Amino acid sequence: MTVPRHFLFLIASTREPGHMGNTEWLARQAAASLPADTVQTWVHLARAGIPEFVDQRHTLGSYLMPEAGSVMRQLLDQTLACTDLVLVAPVYWFSFPSTLKAYLDHWSAWLRVPGLDFKAQMSQKRLWLITTNGDRAKAQPMIDSTAMCAKFLDMPLAGVLWGKGGAPEAVKGDAAAVEKARELFFEEHESLSQESAVSIAPQSLITAKELGDAGERHACELLRVRGYEATLLPPNSRTYDIRVRRGGVEFFVSVKASREKQHVRLGARQSVLGLASGNFVFAFLPLPKQQLEDLIAGQYVLLILPAELARNDALSIHDQYWMTKQKDPNIFSVMVKGYGTHHRAMWPQWLAYKDAWNLLPEA
């Protein structure tokens, strides 16, 4: 049995009580996808009454454990109790709001409480950042700070989500951010290194859903050109998107499309288990270092993968990865990637299925 995750959401916005900020709203979209047994603790740092941090590193040299019942003891206990620490922080002056900074400054004390072993405990948790402001580029210094803080404590920075904020509710209009929020805690993120946090891709013009729909239509056209009868299955059909027929032959195709990255996101584990011999996965990928905005010949790579190969390869990586982390593999999206230590070896084998039309059954 896996231990349920415990998410601590630290809200750093200083909006007045009763006025939910963009960043908190976005965080709540992400949290809504968490399994029911996930513990969620939400703290408004601005209302917590965090005392000023006193730097006694070079006088006393150490700090007492915060007193039982004090604000800082409660925050320390909440911090240590979580498996996932989520900074829910708008950009203030290109940086962390002072509410969050005040909390983080106390880490310098907690690092020096004898016997607490704060760093070792923190290294077992995952750090996330959810942020909003008017302009993605201006959020970069704060994202970099987060990555450096994570590195200092040996914490994996598991994911960064940025949304276009501004006045309250503005972020609701950022469809890409809202969509990413739903997946944020489920994707098997590589721990973002400082470098990769810096190079988070700019916003795409097309949403993942739009590209997915375009991929299904385009796959149908490509099949029809080759003499197959291709019919889209009803939306939300499990595992497959297209029924293909020619003469007495029938098979099914699952279509995937990636906008920015060299990866194939196969989706929920239950759906992947449905990939069966005789059927196929069509995976549209962007050309290396480009974004896929439209499915125009020559501007994408199409992998035509036998369904059972896709299922077996992907689940062997996925299950092993999450088992070693003692996490339930069913709650994470199944992917195969051209990057990341435990995926890279498989990727060239998958690329060999580029335009593998010859594998489709003839009538």
Ligand X SMILES: Cc1cc2nc3c(=O)[nH]c(=O)nc-3n(C[C@H](O)[C@H](O)[C@H](O)COP(=O)(O)O)c2cc1C
Question: Which residues would be at the binding site for ligand X (CB under 6 A)?
Answer: 13, 15, 21-24, 90-94, 132-135, 138, 165-166, 168
Minimal distance, residue 96 CB to ligand X, in Å: 11
Please give the Cα distance from 229 to 227 (Å, whole number): 7
- Cβ distance to ligand X smaller for residue 29 or 132: 132
Residues contacting residue 182 through CB under 8 Å, at least 6 positions apart: 29, 30, 32, 33
3-state class of 139 per DSSP? Answer: helix
Q: For residue 28, which of 202, 172, 187, 188 has the smallest C-alpha distance?
A: 172
Identity (one letter) of the amino acid at 18? G
CB of 75 to ligand X, least distance (A): 20
131 or 262, CB closer to ligand X?
131
| Angle (CA) 300 341 203, round 5° | 45
Residue closer to ligand X by CB (options 29, 133) is 133
Closest distance of CB 47 from ligand X, Å: 14
For residue 286, the minimal CB distance to ligand X (Å) is 28
In angstroms, give the least distance from the CB of 119 to ligand X. Answer: 30
Nearer to ligand X, 13 or 29 (CB): 13
By beta-carbon proximity to ligand X, the closer residue of 12 and 157 is 12
Task: Classify residue 131 as exposed, middle or buried by CB count within 10 Å of its CB (0-12, 13-18, 19+).
Answer: buried
91 vs 257, beta carbon nearer ligand X = 91
Whose Cβ is closer to ligand X: residue 167's or residue 201's?
A: 167
CB of 31 to ligand X, least distance (A): 15
Q: Tell me how far, at minimum, the Cβ of 184 lies from ligand X, in Å.
A: 16
Nearest one of 100, 103, 153, 109 to 127, comparing CA atoms: 153
Nearer to ligand X, 156 or 165 (CB): 165
Sequence-distant (≥ 6) Cβ neighbours of residue 96 within 8 angstroms: 12, 87, 89, 104, 142, 145
> Are the CB atoms for 241 and 280 separated by under 8 Å?
no
* Comparison of 13 and 254: residue with beta carbon closer to ligand X: 13
Q: What is the secondary structure of 16-50 as a DSSP string?
A: PTT---HHHHHHHHHHHTS-TT-EEEEEEGGGT-P
Report in angstroms the alpha-carbon separations of 166 from 133, 139, 174, 296.
6, 13, 11, 35
Q: Is 220 helix (H, G, I), strand (E, B) or coil?
A: helix
> CB of 71 within 8 A of CB of 50?
yes
- 82 or 88: CB nearest ligand X: 88
Helices (H) and strands (E) in the chain, counts: 11, 12
CA distance 106 to 89: 17
- Smallest distance, Å, CB 39 to ligand X? 23
CB of 181 to ligand X, least distance (A): 13
In our burial notation (b when 16+ CB lie closer than 10 A, e otherwise), range 153-168 reads bebbbbbbbbbbbeee
What is the nearest approach in angstroms of ligand X to the Cβ of residue 138? 4
**Closest-CB residue for ligand X?**
165
